[in-house]
Structure 1
Amino acid sequence: MNLHTRRLALSGLVGILSAAVAVGAGELVASLVRPVASPVIAIGNRLITLTPEPVKLWAIREFGTDDKRVLLTGIYLAVAVLAVLIGVAAVRRLALGLFGVAVLGAVGCYCALTANGHQGTDVVPSVFGTLAGMTALTALVRAVTGTGSVTGTGTGAGLDAATRPATLVANRRQFLRGGVGAAAFAVIGGFGGRALQRTRYNASAARAAIRLPEPVSSAGAVANSAAANEAAFDLGKSGVPFLTPAAKFYRIDTALSVPQVDPDTWQLRIHGLVDRELTLSYADLLARPLVERWVTLACVSNEVGGSLISTAKFRGVLLADVLREAGVRPGADQLLAVSADGMTIGSPTAVVMDGRDAMLAVGMNGAPLPTEHGFPVRMVVPGLYGYVSACKWIVDLEATTFAAHQAYWVRGGWAARGPVLLSSRIDRPTSSGFVAVGSQVPVAGVAWDQHVGVSRVEVQVDGGAWQQAVLAPVPSTDTWRQWVYLWTPTSRGAHRLRVRAFDAGGRPQSEAVARPFPAGATGLHEVTVRAR
């Protein structure tokens, strides 16, 4: 490696160390402001709002619930690349490098002040991070070039690479001290800042101390096996369990930093086109009669056969009762919910008020809501996709109109009302799996049409006649329905299995293939298995 190449590598290292110091300082200061003010989180939140809907759909389809981790990784990589370029420019002329850091800092400040739910103080970590990065860059560049000023009056400063003295580092001891110090600060500031954020802004202790009141109306037990042929197969083994554990419940939202809301200070304001504005505390909700219901929630981004759907037992206050108390006026056709992180979700008022078990949920699967799923309070509306109903960390509910306000996802082109579409999927056997010729193979899965219900499920093998599956019992029409069909493969080779469901009125699900945008995916799910 010649001197020029080594100098480029060293210049890149200078940029990386400086950027790491900036990030570490930003994380450390964010622990004194709030986690969402972290420059990286602020940039990520702003990128989410600026990303076109097709790109968001692609990310959800490709990465599912790992989409946030992928986004943050991408931001760190982009910062690293820019840092290398800044380092190379700074070693040639420090003023250029400082300008580059200032530009990145300005981007962080802009994002902090324009992200959903921002506060004025959110800019502070980006400002301090920028200053720390500029300080580190200056010290490291001076050690490399031997210069003592920004304007380039010292040894090697401002010289073209061809005329600069043929040394790699003008002051090696100073550079080593500065480099080690920068790396140590970056590690301590970055990881220490994140640790402090988790310590200072953590609702786990408050959640653990809560004992939810017993519901006045219970969801009841759910059989986890088929109604017939129980000895031959068990849906809990052949398909998916009826209940989704909280740790496996799908999560699609835009919160890169999960809001940590103190239930003691939480309030929900209900206002707008109402006769009486209400402000409810967490204690107010727990003092009201609670109901418990099994509800299946689904994401509109779910592809045919996708996994962005889960079922849980939610406990909460019936939302319609609260709205009647507030006196929602006839002209209010939308309920605009606002999350603690600034997310807006609009629900059709008529749907919430039509008698279904829409609720302000405080519990999930017998425990207080997990933080990731909306603690202390979230909305749950059976029969609507989550983007128009399931507002997590809810703090504001305005009775308004669809004409007056567009919620976050609707501004991106998604349908305003979002009723769940009838659908079904095969969970067992999996695609490209193997089965034994002559054996009895349970083909199993789930079908759903929340608040309408599923009356029949049929399975087709290799384009033949549709065969009726056995359905498991369900507590209500607001949940998915497990099903099983016993199939005996008689020949070796590939076999194509398809499934279709029928709603409570006997109408079949649509076979027309449509992608999720803008109102939900349609089409029949199929898998191909090999018999041997």
Structure 2
Amino acid sequence: MKRWTAALVGLLGVAAALAAGHLVAALVGPPSSPFLAVGNTAIDFTPSPVKDFAVRTFGTYDKLVLLLGMALVLLVAALVAGLLSRRSPLPGTVLAVVLGLLGVAAVVYRPDLGQLGVLAPIASLVVGVAVFRALHARALRASAGPGPDAPDADAPDADAPDTDARRAGVDSEGRRRFLIASGATAVGAAVAGAGGQLLATRVDVEASRRAVGDLTPARPAPPIPATADFAGEGTPSFITPNRDFYRVDTALSVPRVRAEDWVLRVHGMVDRELNLRYDDLRRRDLVERTITMTCVSNEVGGPYVSTANFVGVPLRDVLREAGVRDGADQLLSTSADGWTAGSPVDVVMEEDRGALVALAMNGEPLPLEHGFPARLVVPGLYGYVSATKWVVDLELTTFAARKAYWLERGWGERGPIKVMSRIDSPKGLSTVTGRAVVTGVAWAQPTGVGKVELRSDGGPWQTAQLAEEVNGSTWRMWRAELDLPPGGHLVEVRATDADGVTQPQARVAPVPDGATGWHSVFFTIE
């Protein structure tokens, strides 16, 4: 068959397979869609340095880049399989089987998918093979010309002009049937894919979120003073709006859990197991705390740090109600999609730490992408050991007995946040007219920032002006006016926490327990 015909057959076979898997997944569990299951499994098996590179390079678009990359790989594979199948359907059949088995393996591997989940990749395999072979057969017949029942052009009584015309008619009819079958397949795949997407979102989580209403804290956080930031001079606003709050996680698709269906199980090394529903928590005396969260993937000077007012139930109270037994040193929290984090029990049980099972964020129920219905927030620990979103399970155990997601991949065990500072203004390589006003942020949760210093061109350190402190578990803004001559200048910053620990100069990558180093920018005075 012609190359374009073979390529089209390969593309339609893969499209039909993916659409069928997506449709069936919508009925047995949306995450079992082969495309998503393989993507999530690929994330799990990606080496940590590669993940760190993806977060550093693509930021919050890393998942979109992964999905687009997978789509491109499938596109190329479909084209190659089609082109290799111009004479025989075997290469394309092998590809369909391999992709189907890969989907089955990915679904079986995922901890959040039940046994019925394998039906989605099995449907993908069966439909992919069947559609490819059916289209391939039609394409071959169309390419081969008239069949055995067509007039014989070499027969002595054949009228050559009439025979050629009839042969052309047969060829045309074969092509027409192939094109009709191809069009029907394309339409069917589109309908199945769209139907699967609609069914997958039939759980109206947004309606559940709206129905929650106000989550008014019995103990609100102190008001944020107007002098808590220098937003007018280039720092972020002290409170990060929900739409701007950083998001770094491993979920390709946001788990869709309704508040009325949510249950938090507390078990393991406890005196009594608890099963807490959403209403069980919201009826308690809620507290509001202003907390800065930091991602361990944040490079020196990076953007993955944000601050919000969280409302929820003190995690310490929940664990005391369950009764933590002696010897338990790890709180293993599990997300609705199976992701796990291990928090040090001694930290989350500190009376003044302020760890929360959070239900609300900046005056509204948690946004879906930030953990609705509930998440953990533990001040002073990087998110990979403390900030489980869509949390459904808390197990009291030990670090020796259970390893959480990132510990299995070589990251640090306890994850305390390191003292850090960042220059926000002026931006690197920018030009400043007149006197240089340098502003930025520093953080050292939960101790608090005691001092920020700057120096230009390797000269003496100058102490910056600090904005008003809100609490030790939040970032702190700073500003400094530098009297610099015209020309290019390199400005560096370092912070010291309230206990006197100064941010080290040596640059260390985020792996395994957070980056260190002084942030610097180069700009020009004119």
Q: What TM-score does the superposition give when structure 2 sets the normalisation length?
A: 0.92
Is 1:190 aligned to residue 193 of structure 2?
A: yes
Contact 1:223 1:472 in 2 (8 A): no
Contact 1:146 1:170 in 2 (8 A): no
Contact 2:11 2:82 in 1 (8 A): yes
Contact 1:252 1:299 in 2 (8 A): yes
Is 1:13 aligned to residue 16 of structure 2?
A: no
Cα distance in 1 for partners of 2:171, 2:67 equals 34
Letter in 1 for 2:348: V
Is 1:530 aligned to residue 524 of structure 2?
A: yes
Letter in 1 for 2:244: K
Superposed CA offset, 1:62-94 (max 9, x none): 111111101111111111111112212333211
Superposed CA offset, 1:337-362 (max 9, x none): 01100011100000001121001000
Cα distance in 1 for partners of 2:482, 2:191 equals 59
Letter in 2 for 1:114: Y
Shift in alpha-carbon separation, 1:224–1:499, aligned structure 2, 3 A: farther
Is 1:333 aligned to residue 335 of structure 2?
A: no
Query: Matches of residues 105-184 of structure 1 in structure 2 within 5 Å?
Result: 105-146=100-141, 171-184=174-187
Superposed CA offset, 1:347-397 (max 9, x none): 000000112100100000010001101100100000000000001111110
Superposed CA offset, 1:231-263 (max 9, x none): xxx434421111111111111111111001111
Secondary structure at 2:221 match in 1? coil
Cα drift, residue 206 of structure 1: 0.3
Contact 2:60 2:248 in 1 (8 A): yes
Matched residue count: 503
Letter in 2 for 1:517: V
Shift in alpha-carbon separation, 1:217–1:226, aligned structure 2, 3 A: closer
Superposed CA offset, 1:174-201 (max 9, x none): 1110121122122222234223322x13
Cα distance in 2 for partners of 1:472, 1:283 equals 39
Cα drift, residue 489 of structure 1: 3.5
Unaligned runs of 5+ in 2: 149-166
Answer with 1 or 2: which has the greater Rg.
Answer: 2
Cα drift, residue 12 of structure 1: 1.5
Cα distance in 2 for partners of 1:175, 1:134 equals 17
Letter in 1 for 2:437: P
**For residue 103 of structure 1, what is the aligned residue in structure 2?**
98
Shift in alpha-carbon separation, 1:144–1:170, aligned structure 2, 3 A: farther
Letter in 2 for 1:50: F
Contact 2:262 2:278 in 1 (8 A): yes
Contact 1:215 1:290 in 2 (8 A): yes
**For residue 249 of structure 1, what is the aligned residue in structure 2?**
245
Secondary structure at 2:299 match in 1? coil
Superposed CA offset, 1:381-421 (max 9, x none): 00000000001111110100000000000000000100000
Cα drift, residue 40 of structure 1: 0.5
Superposed CA offset, 1:436-478 (max 9, x none): 1xx2332111100111110111111121111111111122100
Q: What RMSD over aligned residues (CA atoms) do the two structures have, in Å?
A: 2.0
Contact 2:215 2:311 in 1 (8 A): no
Is 1:222 aligned to residue 216 of structure 2?
A: no
Is 1:376 aligned to residue 370 of structure 2?
A: no
Contact 1:143 1:170 in 2 (8 A): no
Cα distance in 1 for partners of 2:474, 2:372 equals 22
Cα drift, residue 10 of structure 1: 2.5
Unaligned runs of 5+ in 1: 149-153, 156-164, 228-233
Cα distance in 2 for partners of 1:236, 1:45 equals 41
**For residue 498 of structure 1, what is the aligned residue in structure 2?**
492
4+ runs deviating over 6 angstroms: 165-170
Letter in 1 for 2:130: T
Cα distance in 2 for partners of 1:275, 1:417 equals 25
Contact 1:91 1:144 in 2 (8 A): no
State, as a whole percentage, how many aligned pairs show the same letter.
Answer: 47
Letter in 2 for 1:338: T
Cα distance in 1 for partners of 2:417, 2:171 equals 64
Cα drift, residue 131 of structure 1: 2.0
Counterpart of 2:407 (choices 395, 406, 410) is 410
Is 1:393 aligned to residue 397 of structure 2?
A: no
Secondary structure at 1:404 match in 2? coil
Cα drift, residue 126 of structure 1: 1.4
Cα distance in 1 for partners of 2:91, 2:236 equals 58
Cα distance in 2 for partners of 1:182, 1:325 equals 58
Letter in 2 for 1:189: A
Counterpart of 1:270 (choices 245, 266, 272) is 266
**For residue 208 of structure 1, what is the aligned residue in structure 2?**
210
Is 1:316 aligned to residue 319 of structure 2?
A: no
Letter in 2 for 1:505: D
Secondary structure at 1:495 match in 2? strand
Letter in 2 for 1:421: K
